[in-house]
Amino acid sequence: MSGSPSTRTTSDPAFPDLRIGAPAAAPSPSGPRRFTIDAPVPADAEAIARVHVRGWEVAYGHALDGEEWFGEPALRRRLEQWTATLSAGPDTEGAPRVLVARDEDGVPVGFAASWPVRDPEPVREQELSTLYVEPGWHGTGLARELVEELLGGRSASLWVAEDNPRARRFYEKLGFAPDGTRQVDERWPQLPDIRMVR
């Protein structure tokens, strides 16, 4: 995305916000909320790491537990990851395209990223790799806007937790459909993923 950040006022209940693999979200406060979407800078690494860890807790807390996933070790690991990613810059080979959503105070409250496709035999040239939003922003349309800004309406693939019909419906509303491919990560075998494409 180039130029100045885009500003949105949200109130569209037709597109509930879910992160990839997330369970049903709590309702958000009533009324429209304003946010901007732009490219993150290295100073955003800590806030993005916190959103990332909180997103994992909300999405996978029913299946994973412990400090490794949701405590200080997880936060340190994500901070290192995002500091390195954002410090490398977008022109680094293999770097993701990352967008961050900010509240009215400029604080990151969600992010989406597209890394080069990880599949050994890619079915699309682009992948929606990561999407997390602070729980207080669920139901505001922010996640939908992040996805559309990131992908620009182009075809893409994504992996979503198999046991998450609500998230799958969210992606279906954005034009994604399961392609019959399933994977199990040995680090969390209790959370198999399915691939969706558009």
Q: Which residues touch 33 (CB under 8 Å, ≥6 apart)? A: 9, 10, 11, 103, 137, 140, 142
CATH of 15-20+35-197, one of 3.90.25.10, 3.40.630.30, 1.10.150.530, 3.40.50.1000: 3.40.630.30
Q: Which residues touch 16 (CB under 8 Å, ≥6 apart)? A: 25, 138, 139, 166, 170
DSSP 39: -
Q: Name the strands in the sheet holding 127-128, side by side, starting at the edge strand that comes first in the sequence.
A: 127-128, 157-161, 193-197, 177-183
Instruction: Return per-residue pLDDT of the chain as tens, 198 residues.
Output: 444 444 444 433 333 333 344 333 334 455 678 999 999 999 999 999 999 999 888 887 777 777 777 889 999 999 999 999 999 977 788 789 999 999 999 999 999 999 889 888 899 999 999 999 999 998 899 999 999 999 999 999 999 988 877 778 889 999 999 999 999 988 888 889 999 999
Residue 152 region by backbone torsions, left for phi larger than 0, else alpha for psi between -120 and 50, else beta: left
